[in-house]
Chains A and B, each alone.
Chain A
Amino acid sequence: MTSAANSMGATQSDSAGPILSVGNLRAYFRTNHFGIHRTVRAVDGISFDVGRGEIYGLAGESSSGKTTLVRTIAGAIKPPLEVVGGTAEFSFLPGYDGLYRAPAAEVARIRWRHLSYIMQGSMNVLNPVRRLRKSFVDFARPHMAGTERKFERAVIDHLARVNLDASVLAAYPHELSGGMRQRVTIALATICRPDFIIADEPTTALDVIVQKDVLGMIRGIQREIGSSVLFVTHDMGVHAHLTDRLGIMYAGRLIEEATTAEIFRAPLHPYTRHLIASLPRIGNDAPRKGLEGTPPNLADPPPGCRFHPRCPLAMEVCSRSVPTMIGTAPGHRVACFAVNGSEEP
């Protein structure tokens, strides 16, 4: 995990600690409409670290809370979402629990220059009534010193890196294909050479061929500027391709975390094992069995371990207590009573 040391590259700091440290983060949606109160426990006690220059993947099915988690980390908290407790601290913004607690001036300082975001769904993420050049000016110009000429030059060079022609700047978003729009957002997110990039399902809406290109671009740029990436997707194939370490989420909680290779080679949690087992493998046409039941309703989740109603290894203690993440081997953590052995309730 080396950091590249170029002029506007990822900053090195004295300590070699993690660049992002999430500790017992809890964020809920609280709504009250027409007399019905509803609390959706979307992120319920998540802790993990992301090191410098590494690509950390977050996997899990839809409605597992992945997007809410990264939005919270990125400080995009709006009612009815509120942070109920915990921390999500970046090394370049020390002293605050997270972006959501820091004063606006500090947050504005680090946005885009240190922390950038690639959003889910390329359909609607760019202003539909303005040409793309405007988006670059709005997002990146405040962080890049120099003349307009230099800026324009830098943008065009950067676009070339994602195989986009300069003519794209004069176009409107709806005039581009999905793949082109996604490449524009990647260029947007990386032009200021941030220390940390959050990528939320950046390839989901793309077809496989474009997907491969886009992933390659992300990896290429990441290697060049040495950023850390928090990569969210439900597609395990993408994780296998790209990420260094992998965290598996289920129903608002982190249930397993290890290097990507280790997850694929020897998954421990019953849910992870099912995920891996259900991946198609060339040469193996044994029928895949689906998990019974459905993901829990986060407004009214099952007590104890949230997976226990569907778990083949469920025990009595699983419905009473919440299993904690315990290290089974160096760099490998699992939250499961069946794997770690059950302590008393």
Chain B
Amino acid sequence: MLAILRDLLRYNLEFRIGIVLVGFVLVLSMLSGFSPYPPQDVYVVPPDVPPSLSYWLGTTSRGQDVFWQLTFAIRNTLLFGCTVALISRALALVIGLLSGYKGGWIDRVLMSINDTFIVIPLLPVLVLFYFVMRDSMSWLMLALIMACLGWAYDARLIRSVAMSLKTREFTQSSVFSGMSTREILVQEHLPYVMPIVFSTTMNNMIWSIGLEVTLAVLGFTDINTPTIGGMIYWANQHTAMVAGVWWWIAFPTIAVVITFIGLFLLAVSMNEYIDPRSRLSRIGPVTS
């Protein structure tokens, strides 16, 4: 896996740009540890100050420093995306590998359920969750719910890889040598599936962060924990655009767009690397 990353870094421009953008966002989120203001506090600095030397990205109408708020917002948003991605990877892997390997009626049943979750529009369902749970919907809860609803698309991808692996010779030998299904899936098939898992993780993060931003902007999440969407929500509550406090909206927006473009480029370059045609050209002795 490391060798793959090293190759990508050396030869693929999109990967490099993606790493730079994501790295930038990560650094920003880590800066949150140095913030002089606790994230939930309001009116700690003079409100509505435009970007200047003392307040790099200006301050909000609630008296918070936009820059430091942004570091917390980015950190929470990224954490959220990672959590959802992790949990839904686990689900997608289990279902995809099992379904692809076992086949038969297990496959049919699982895929019918899978296709159901692909079709159902998730935003109304999440809105319904929020409506019913209101203030007890912490972001962890939301992450859990989204992970349980968002594994479907990637499970199908993993399933098709599993189906092609099933017919390969090394699988047959593993079966004959008495390995259990679980052993085969974990020890033999998992390494082949990892590159796809990586690129789908990027896409999944884009999806979950996008959905969270949408919900937060509407005010349908725990708005006291600062997230990108939350910042935009509060900005709207204080009619920032009309009041001319553009920096309150602009900077979180730019931050999330950078994150998305970075993640997207990573996913695209990983996909290109996995593509079997480019892989064939990479085999063999090096000539000039």
Contacts and interface: CB of A to CB of B under 8 A. Distances in A.
A297 B286 CA distance: 12
B287 A299 contact: yes
Contacts of A36: 281-282, 284, 286
Contacts of A320: none
B168 interface: no
A35 B11 contact: yes
A80 B281 CA distance: 10
A101 interface: no
Contact of B7 (A34, A297, A299): A34
Given A33-B278, A299-B287, 18 more contacts: A31-B281, A32-B281, A33-B281, A33-B282, A34-B7, A34-B282, A35-B7, A35-B10, A36-B282, A36-B284, A37-B286, A37-B288, A38-B285, A38-B287, A39-B287, A297-B284, A297-B285, A299-B284
Given A33-B278, A34-B278, A300 B285 contact: yes
A38 B278 contact: no
Contacts of A299: 284-285, 287
B273 to A, nearest CB: 8
A34 B12 contact: yes
B98 to A, nearest CB: 31
Nearest to B10: A35
24 contacts: A33-B281, A34-B7, A34-B8, A34-B10, A34-B12, A34-B278, A34-B282, A35-B7, A35-B10, A35-B11, A36-B281, A36-B282, A37-B286, A38-B281, A38-B284, A38-B285, A38-B287, A39-B287, A297-B285, A299-B284, A299-B285, A299-B287, A300-B284, A300-B287
A212 B141 CA distance: 69
A80 B280 CA distance: 13
Interface string B1-19: 0000001101110000000
Interface string B172-204: 000000000000000000000000000000000
A31 B282 CA distance: 9
A35 B288 CA distance: 10
Interface string B40-84: 000000000000000000000000000000000000000000000
A34 B273 CA distance: 9
A38 B284 CA distance: 8
Contacts of B286: 36-38
Contacts of B7: 34-35
Pairs A-B, 6 closest by C-beta atoms: A34-B11, A33-B281, A31-B281, A35-B11, A300-B285, A299-B284
Contacts of B278: 33-34
B287 A37 contact: yes
Contacts of B288: 37
A34 B281 CA distance: 9
A24 to B, nearest CB: 22
Interface of B: 7-8, 10-12, 273, 278, 281-282, 284-288
A80 B286 CA distance: 16
A36 B286 CA distance: 6
A141 B242 CA distance: 67
Nearest to A38: B284
Contacts of B11: 33-35
Highest count of chain B CB atoms <10 Å: which of A31, A33, A36: A33
A284 B3 CA distance: 54
Contacts of A37: 286-288
A33 B286 CA distance: 11
A84 to B, nearest CB: 14
Interface string A22-42: 000000000111111111000
Contacts of B12: 34
Contacts of A33: 11, 278, 281-282
Highest count of chain B CB atoms <10 Å: which of A32, A38, A297: A38
A300 B285 CA distance: 7
A211 B286 CA distance: 42
A261 B10 CA distance: 57
Contacts of A32: 281
Contacts of A35: 7, 10-11
Nearest to A40: B284
A33 B11 CA distance: 8
Nearest to B12: A34
Highest count of chain A CB atoms <10 Å: which of B8, B285, B287: B287
A33 B7 CA distance: 10
Nearest to A31: B281
B238 to A, nearest CB: 50
Interface in A176-202: none
Nearest to A30: B287
A186 to B, nearest CB: 31
Contacts of A31: 281
Contacts of B287: 37-39, 299-300
Highest count of chain A CB atoms <10 Å: which of B8, B10, B285: B285
B211 to A, nearest CB: 34
Contacts of B10: 34-35
A111 B230 CA distance: 65
A302 to B, nearest CB: 13
B51 to A, nearest CB: 42
Interface string A66-97: 00000000000000100000000000000000
B280 to A, nearest CB: 9
Nearest to B284: A299
B221 to A, nearest CB: 42
A150 to B, nearest CB: 44
A36 B11 CA distance: 10
Contacts of B273: 34
